[in-house]
A and B are shown apart, each in its own frame.
Chain A
Amino acid sequence: MHTMIPTSRSVERFHELQHYVGNTPLYPITKLSPNPKVKIYAKLEWQQMGGSVKARPAYNIMKEAIESGKLNEGKHLLDATSGNTGIAYAVFASVAGIPLTLAVPGNVTKERKNILQALGVNLIFTSPFESTDGSQREALALASAEPDKYFYADQYNNDNNWKAHYNSTAEEIIRQTGGQITHFVAGLGTTGTFTGTSRKLKEYDPSIQVIGLQPETALHGLEGWKHLETAKVPGIYDDQLADDIQGVDTLGAYEVLKDAARYESLFLSPSSAANLLGAILLAEKIEEGTIVTVFPDDATKYSEVVDPILKS
């Protein structure tokens, strides 16, 4: 139940934005699919407000916080992010008139810095040595110091992150495949997409195999992904859910990024390409089936990484 609903026009507009979150196309991969008996599909998650998969959890986290009164008028929304969640928060927060403070690693791509600054976000840059683990520590310290000022969304430990995918991404996949999905593969970052989508898919049909993808090595070039053995594992991650965890090689993903542009007319981000590589590797191993993955965002925010790949 809604215990407290701000009634200002700006928050009403926030609620109207739900029509621009989710319901992304399920796109068939044809030329890069290695097995004629296996279909590969990907959700084009950049086709929603904020330009990435993060529209779903960011909107759901904010919606729950506004409706429960935790993010009431005057409070700042605060979180740690590597960029996409921050951009989604920023779009929704500006519409709702909510001040936004984000802790981000100092080495996020220049496009992300530019977009966040253009959207008027109060940015706190944390050590590039510590990735988003350091950003989380900084955000927690701020929230602890001024609890009346900040609502700390804590996307890594907020159940409304994975529930966004449980209630939308998975439902869309079931509907769009006509229930024919046999395998779901997705990279692990906050793990919200994997956890929420997999949980619902398993409830729908326990025989659906769910495969988590992670970088093969602690240092990698797949922005947004976590190497679980060496990273701070998010609280929302359920280690009992995955049927398998598959390592993905960064350079292999970069090759797929090039091939996707050339043969599929898809301009993918490195992590989207890594998801596609995970799906391709799986398609080579199984006899038949329908694999679904997600493309969290496209290449437009990664020119520093993608330009050299496409030119190589």
Chain B
Amino acid sequence: MARLIIPTPLRKFTADQAVFESTGNNVKEVINQLIDEYNGLKQHLLDERGDIRSFVRIYVGDEDIHALNREHTTVEANSVVSIIPAIAGGSY
């Protein structure tokens, strides 16, 4: 199964789980499975239309999905999918 790495700010919604294993075949399916398991994440990851929020940065391996096939980017059984948070804490 693909492994999804949960960033620290979102672990409050995953009972501190840092890794989520998914059978999804693309990024959207992986994210949807994650939200099915942890519904509190929905508002943080999806917009009103149910699309992944445009500023949420997701990587498959070392590649930003914006440089691939966005949410339709294929996920293999051995893929590592990562959600990268924005930089917090500096400017104020």
Contact with B along A125-136 (1 / 0, CB 8 A): 000111111100
Give the docked Cα–Cα distance between A219 and B88 (Å). 10
Contacts of B88 in A (CB 8 A): 82, 131-133, 189, 223-227, 231
Contact assessment for A84 and B9 in the assembled complex, using a CB-CB cutoff below 8 Å = no
Contact assessment for A226 and B87 in the assembled complex, using a CB-CB cutoff below 8 Å = no
Give the docked Cα–Cα distance between A133 and B45 (Å). 21
Give the docked Cα–Cα distance between A133 and B10 (Å). 13
Contact assessment for A218 and B9 in the assembled complex, using a CB-CB cutoff below 8 Å = yes
Closest to A222 in B: B86
- Closest chain-B Cβ to A158's Cβ sits at a distance in Å of 13
Contact assessment for B85 and A131 in the assembled complex, using a CB-CB cutoff below 8 Å = yes
Contacts of A230 in B (CB 8 A): 9-10, 12
Contact assessment for B87 and A108 in the assembled complex, using a CB-CB cutoff below 8 Å = yes
Contact assessment for B92 and A189 in the assembled complex, using a CB-CB cutoff below 8 Å = yes
Within 8 A of B (CB), among A262-311: 269, 271, 296-297
Measured as residues with beta carbon below 8 angstroms from the partner, the interface class of chain B is 20 to 34
Q: Is B90 in the interface zone, CB < 8 Å from A?
A: yes
Interface centre among A156, A225, A296 (most CB of B within 10 A): A225
Our pick among B8, B43, B83, B87 for the contact of A223 (Cβ within 8 Å) is B87
Contact assessment for A82 and B90 in the assembled complex, using a CB-CB cutoff below 8 Å = yes
Give the docked Cα–Cα distance between A132 and B88 (Å). 6
Contact assessment for B87 and A107 in the assembled complex, using a CB-CB cutoff below 8 Å = yes
Q: Is B24 in the interface zone, CB < 8 Å from A?
A: no
Q: Is A220 in the interface zone, CB < 8 Å from B?
A: yes
Our pick among A156, A187, A221, A229 for the contact of B91 (Cβ within 8 Å) is A187
Q: Is B84 in the interface zone, CB < 8 Å from A?
A: yes
Of the stretches A27-35, A36-44, A65-73, A190-198, the one at the interface is: A190-198
Give the docked Cα–Cα distance between A192 and B9 (Å). 21
Contact assessment for B84 and A132 in the assembled complex, using a CB-CB cutoff below 8 Å = no
Give the docked Cα–Cα distance between A128 and B43 (Å). 22
Contact assessment for A218 and B10 in the assembled complex, using a CB-CB cutoff below 8 Å = yes
- Closest chain-A Cβ to B15's Cβ sits at a distance in Å of 14
- Closest chain-B Cβ to A207's Cβ sits at a distance in Å of 24
Closest to B53 in A: A219
Q: Is B78 in the interface zone, CB < 8 Å from A?
A: no
Q: Is B65 in the interface zone, CB < 8 Å from A?
A: no
Give the docked Cα–Cα distance between A211 and B53 (Å). 26
Within 8 A of B (CB), among A78-101: 81-86
Q: Is A62 in the interface zone, CB < 8 Å from B?
A: no
Q: Could you show 9 A-B contacts with beta carbons less than 8 Å apart?
A: A86-B90, A129-B83, A130-B7, A189-B90, A215-B86, A218-B9, A218-B13, A226-B89, A231-B9
Please list the 4 inter-chain residue pairs (A to B) with the smallest Cβ-Cβ separation, ordered nearest first: A224-B91, A82-B90, A189-B92, A221-B55
